[in-house]
Structure formats: C-alpha cells, structure tokens
A and B are shown apart, each in its own frame.
Chain A
Amino acid sequence: MLNKINLLLVGVGGQGTILASKILAEVALLSGLDVKMSEIHGMAQRGGSVVTHVKMGDEIYSPLVEKGEADIILSFEQLEALRWLSFLKPDGEIITGTQVIEPVPVIMGKAVYPSGIVKTIQGRVQKLISLDALAFATECGNAKASNVVLMGVLARRLGFAKEIWLKALDNKVPAKFLDINKKAFTQGYELV
C-alpha cells in the first residue's frame, strides 16, 4: 500500500456520497492511519454536485485533494466522473458507476449530456473500472445501496482486510439498512 492515499468521492445530492466517505474514513481510523475527510454540504440535498475528499496516511495536513492529486476517484454518476477528471493523478484510477442523472440545464434542453463518457475517460486514464452498480444494488434489494456496491469495488483495490470494511459498515450504517448494505458491499468486493 502507498504511504499516503488521496481519494475523491463524487456524485449527486442524494446518492449517499457523504455516507460512503464516512465509511472510508472509518476504515482508515480502524487501521490506525491518520485520516482527514472534507465535505461541502448545504445545497447538496437539492440535487447539486457533491464532492468529498478523503486523505489517509502517516500524517495528513490539508484535508483537500487538489487537481492532479487523486490516486483514485470513486464516482457514483458518469458526468461527475468526467467533471472531476482533472483531479486525477496521471497514473490514477477511476471507478465509476454508469448511472446517469441529468442536471437541470440538460433537463431543460439548455445543455447536452455528453455521450460516450466512459469511452472518453478510457482514452485518458490508465485504469478505469465502470459498472452498473445500480443494477447490482437492485439485485440485492435496494437501489439506494449502489454507493456501497462501488465501495466494495474500491475496497478490493485499497487492500485493507475485508473484516475492517465490514466493521466500518457496522459502525456507520443505520441498523435497519445494515444487511442490505453488507450484501451490496460483498457484491462489489467479489466482482473484480
């Protein structure tokens, strides 16, 4: 494992980006690493673009991941992956769900949702995983758990023990959604 990992989690208000970041930060805490997580909310609930920064390692100063600094970008929506692409390190990796959520200017017909986003990203980054997390989550019984499916994929890449992830889920996910979330996580974890 790298001695410092910078992650950016990006999505749309309501997709569970902040919860996912909290789980990730908890994993770092349980593993004895220093960690900082930064979120901006406020307008997030109203369908805006949401980004959280998670940095872990021996000692973390700035809580922010800046342009060209992310080792991994975990994206819950295609367009958001594209929006934050410039934050990726040249050899960084993108994990994205293929879900499409049209922003209002697109809905209003004032802007177009770019086509072939996954292809566009593929042409520019060395490592890309894209999957229909929504479908997997629906299979597990709750479409809302698609963020956790993607967490599972991320977990495999990061290399902390699976038990630590499950413990972090225990600590952070409300009890009534825990089973579904664990199932969704395992789906993602076993996938790649």
Chain B
Amino acid sequence: MKVLLTGNEAIARGAYEAGVGVAAGYPGTPSTEILESIVQYPRIYSQWSPNEKVAFEVGVGASIAGSRTLVTMKHVGVNVAADPLLTFSYTGVNGGFVLVSADDPGMHSSQNEQDNRRYGRLAKIPVLEPADSREAKEFAAKAFEISEAFDTPVMLRITTRIAHSQGMVELAEPVPVVKKEYIKNAQKYVMIPAYGRIRHTVVEERTEKLVQYAGETELNVTKIKDRKFGIITSGICYQYVKEAFPQASILKLGMTYPLSQKLVKDFASQVDRVFVVEELEPFLEETVVTMGLKVDGKRLFPLIGELSAKMVREKINREMGLASSPDEEKTREGLPSIPARPPVLCPGCPHRAVFYVLKKLKMVVTGDIGCYTLGALPPLEAMDTTICMGASIGTALGMEKSNPELAKRIVAVIGDSTFFHSGITGLVDMLYNKGKGTVLILDNSTTAMTGHQQHPATGKTLKNEPTEAVNIAGLVRGLGVKRVVEVDPFELARLEALIKEETAAEEVSVIIAKRPCALLEKAASGYMVIDESKCINCKQCMALGCPAIALRDGRVTINPEICNGCNLCTQVCKVGAIRKAGEDVE
C-alpha cells in the first residue's frame, strides 16, 4: 500500500518494519515527530528521556540486552549525547542501534546549524542520508542491518526538509520484533583502558570493512548520463540536483561516511569535471579532495543556510558557461514594504508576566531555550544571554563570580523541561560554590516549544500513561536550597516582590513560577475590554507585548477574538481602565 508520510513518520515506520523493540529520545525540532509517530506501534517500547544523553544510554542498554533500538534527537542533542556515542562506537552493539540526527540547515528553529555528519567521522560510525520519505523508511531499516553486520551504531542523518516533507512511501509487512540473546562480555562492553585499546583496533578494522562496503552497497548509486560534468551529492541536495539537471551524471551517496575511494574515482573518471553539492560543511568535498581529485564545491556553494534547485542551476550553469534563467524578481518591484510576522508569546502565556517584571526591575537575565526565549524580543527584551539548553544557571554563576557588582541583579530563567534536561547540575554547582544567585523555573507543565510533549514532572509518559510526577520544589529543596518559593506568575505584585526579595538574599534562591501553558488549558474565562472613559492612552499595557492588545487609530484596543482573559493587563493598567467584558463598572 502507498501512503503519504513525512520523513519523520517514514523513519518510525521503517523502524517498526525492521523489528525495533525500543525507542527513546528527547524532543527537538525537526526530530520530535519520529517518537510521536512510533507511539502508534504498541509493540515498540518507546519513551521520552529527560535529555539526549540519557536517551542514548537507555538505547545502549536496550541494544546490549538484545533489542533493535532507535534513538532520536535534533542536531544539538547529539552534542549532549556525544559522550556515550563516542565510546559506544568502541563497544559496538548487540541488537542493531540507530541514532537519528535531525539537522537544521537554515536554522528554521535552532540556535545553530552544525553539520552532524562530522560526528559520524569523529565517532567512526557509518552515516546514512536519505533523500526523501521513501528512502527515510528504507534506510532506517537498512541501518539496522548494517549496525548488526558491522557491530556498530549507525547514524541516520536527516535535515529539516527531509523530516518535514511528505512523500509517497510503499508500506511493507513488519518482521517480528528482533530479540538477540544477551551474553555477558566484559571485554566488549566494559571500556576500561585495557579493553578499550583492544576495541579501538576493532573499530579501525571495522572502518576498513565499511569502506569496502561503501564501494558495493546499493545505498550509493552511480548514474552516468551527460559526461560534460558530474555531481557528487546526498540527501535533499540530490533532489535539488535532479530538479536542476535531470540529464546530469550523478553519484548519489546514500552512505556519506565512510566513502569508497574506488567508487568516487570511478565516477570522476567518466566525466570531464566534478561538482560536489552539499549543504553546510564541505564534508564530502574534503574527503574527495584527499583522494587527489580536483572538484568544485564550497568555492561555489555557501557554508551557511540551505541550498535550492535554483541555486544549484545558477551556480553550475555560470561555471559551465551556460545560460542562466531569467530574473523573476519583477513582480516585487514597487511593492509596499511588508511587515515581518515574527512569532510571539501567545495571549495568556504565563511567561509574559515574568519577563514584564524582569524588565521593570532591570534585571540581568541569563536565559535558556524554550517558548520563553521569545522574552528576548521587543517589547519585553528581558534576556541577556541564551546559549544552549541548561546554560542559564551556570552562566548566572559565572557572571556573579566574574563581576560581583552584577550579583544582586542576576536572574537565571529556565523552563521546566529544560531544568530536567540540564539545569539540575547547574543548580548543584551554584550551591556547591557558594553562589548567591536567583533561579526562576518557569513551570508551565509541558515542553511547549517543541509542540507540548510530556516531561518528568507532568505525570504522563510519551504514551500518555500516568506515572510518577517529579516534584520540582521537593527536588530543589532536597538538593539543599533553603529559599524555595512557588508563585502564580499572574499574581504580578507578588511575583515582583519575590524577585526583589530573593535577588537581595545572600544565598541561592529558587522561584518556581507555576501556571500551565495557555494552549494546554483554554482559560475560557471571557475577555477584557477597555473603558474608553477611563483610559488615558498611556500605553503601559502595550509593554506586555500581548498580541491581543493593539493600537488602532492611535488608541489602545483589545481584540476579543484572541484575548485569553488572563487578567495580566488589568494589573498593569494604573487607572483601572481594563476590565472583564460583561462585568459591572463600579
């Protein structure tokens, strides 16, 4: 049967058809839907972990115990999981192990655009790159075979355009769940130096065998057509190349690490010149150049952002002295300027209150990653740093130690899911090293940013089954933090008083701002109206940056269609001009 699947759904399907028994991951665009989709196959045990390192380690255990195992994460998640990854490469697997790395060229929703194929080379594990949903399913299944045949974890590397594009996929019958026998083998799985040295030799021998395999596998396809030039490419770039040059000779690499010198040289020898078309890093190009071939890649194509069929066509045409396509920008000439439409915190978002107060108090805010990072944008603009998940707390401690004058003004702001991901160790550091910082945990009962996934404090698993909910306040107290308070962020005055008090305190404080994400619980508590006779048009309420509060003909108005009735603006208005619709005016 043929169905339409996104690349992510196709990977989940491929894992299912290949008899996967265990799947783990941490949410992160564009990888999240793989596990969300795997839930539809009840025979697979699947779970969200608190972070990618733990997810990877759960996968390690599952593989060693005998199951075929899938672990999923976005590209930056692999940084977090890199430690187990690099040594699991040494031990190798029992049940096949596939790591999906979902990279994000163009940074559609990421903080950087690192190219994780480099992790494949660093960890010396094979890297497969599907070019559409059909291949995503097939390669996922193939990756388990390779993993077991070569005793290695395999990276299935996709990019946003593969993850989030739908294409036709032919479904196949699943094989039964694969379960290998567990046999204790310390020399293979206990990586003390003596055993590690032995395993390193095994890894190098394995790589030689993989190079051999790279020359034979049908994952890599050579098509010779027009011989004037040939293109080496992989992944989504293959589609751009086909679209731009249907008649070109192409070496399409389904396995981009390791490469076979023989395969590449054979291809190059059949065409007059060779281009390498790849997004981000010159990953293929570097290897091809070390083979002694002369090729053009990053001299023509950018290191930054995505490529496109149009770009491939134009660059190569120009290089080959061929005619380029006409300019299509004309329709745009003389158009009025078009305002951007940036994302915003939703009406009724509990994070808004926090940033409003932090801005008012002129705090130095070390931030973190989540919906609340939008607090960095106008008009709130209440965030000084954002680096990676969990960084807010360590950064706050470092700032305090480096610049004691700032100490009383520093607040670390971190979401609940992010706190579990990698905030706890930062807080331990703050306590251990006598920090005096204030940490604000934004507990909105969900991982909102990536589409509302469960996390360790929501009381639900990936499969929506009830489970133990970690108590954040209890956890923090248990670490030894004495000043721990919970507050409803919509109690603006109390929140403000608390932040003042806790930043002044001479020890670590944790404020837990607790209120569910506005999209989880539809407040349905009516909407606000502005009493025109009282409003002095001071625009103080607009400093909240609520999309329901708009300026119309110079006057402040509230849009009843999208107002969530959260009551924030009523507290901000100094003259009491905002009230709930339908409530009496006194």
Measuring CB to CB, which residues of chain A are less than 8 angstroms from any residue of chain B? 12-13, 22, 25-26, 29, 34-49, 60-64, 66-68, 79-80, 82-83, 85-86, 88, 90, 102-114, 120, 124-125
Contacts and interface: CB of A to CB of B under 8 A. Distances in A.
A38 B165 contact: yes
Contact of A82 (B338, B378, B550): B338
Given A67-B310, A85-B332, A36 B132 contact: yes
B408 interface: no
A41 B547 CA distance: 20
Nearest to B30: A42
Report the 6 A-B pairs with minimum CB-CB distance, sorted nearest first. A68-B328, A42-B109, A46-B343, A111-B339, A114-B336, A103-B341
A45 B518 CA distance: 12
Interface string B209-242: 0000000000000000000000000001001101
Contacts of B519: 45
Nearest to A103: B341
A79 to B, nearest CB: 7
B166 A102 contact: no
Contacts of B236: 62-63
Contacts of A79: 338-339, 341
A63 B345 CA distance: 30
B84 interface: no
B530 interface: no
B374 interface: yes
Contacts, number: 149
B273 interface: no
23 contacts: A22-B166, A25-B166, A36-B132, A36-B165, A45-B346, A48-B341, A62-B236, A62-B240, A63-B165, A63-B236, A64-B308, A64-B309, A66-B308, A67-B329, A82-B336, A83-B338, A85-B332, A90-B331, A103-B342, A104-B342, A104-B545, A105-B342, A124-B331
A114 B345 CA distance: 24
B371 A62 contact: no
Interface in B272-321: 308-310
B342 A107 contact: no
Contact of A46 (B161, B164, B344, B542): B344
Interface in B126-169: 132, 160-161, 164-168
A88 B328 CA distance: 9
B340 A63 contact: no
A86 B340 contact: no
B279 to A, nearest CB: 13
B551 interface: yes
Nearest to B109: A42
A46 B4 contact: no
B549 interface: yes
Nearest to A125: B331
Contacts of A64: 161, 308-309
B547 A104 contact: yes
B168 A38 contact: no
Contacts of B167: 35-37, 60, 63
Given A29-B4, A44-B343, 15 more contacts: A37-B166, A38-B161, A38-B164, A41-B451, A46-B374, A47-B547, A61-B240, A62-B308, A63-B132, A66-B308, A67-B328, A82-B336, A83-B338, A86-B332, A111-B337
A64 B164 CA distance: 12
B447 to A, nearest CB: 13
Given A36-B132, A48-B343, A26 B160 contact: no
A45 B447 CA distance: 14
Contacts of A60: 167
A8 B202 CA distance: 51
A42 B27 CA distance: 11
B242 A61 contact: yes
Contact of A107 (B2, B4, B332, B549): B549
A111 B345 CA distance: 19
A107 B559 CA distance: 11
Contact of A35 (B168, B374, B550): B168
B434 interface: no
Interface string B99-114: 0000000001100000
Nearest to B160: A40
Given A38-B161, A39-B164, A108 B374 contact: no
Contact of B328 (A13, A29, A86, A105): A86
B547 A107 contact: yes
A53 to B, nearest CB: 8
Contacts of A109: 551
A185 B119 CA distance: 49
Contacts of B2: 29
Contacts of A102: 550
A113 B339 contact: yes
B170 interface: no
Most chain B beta-carbon contacts within 10 A, residue among A44, A82, A102: A102
Most chain A beta-carbon contacts within 10 A, residue among B167, B308, B379: B167
Given A46-B371, A62-B240, A112 B165 contact: no
B340 A105 contact: yes
Contacts of B344: 46-47, 104
B551 A107 contact: yes
B243 interface: yes
Contact of B331 (A34, A85, A106): A85
Contacts of A83: 338, 341
Nearest to A116: B336
B331 A88 contact: yes
A20 B338 CA distance: 24
B29 interface: yes
A103 B343 contact: no
A64 B339 CA distance: 24
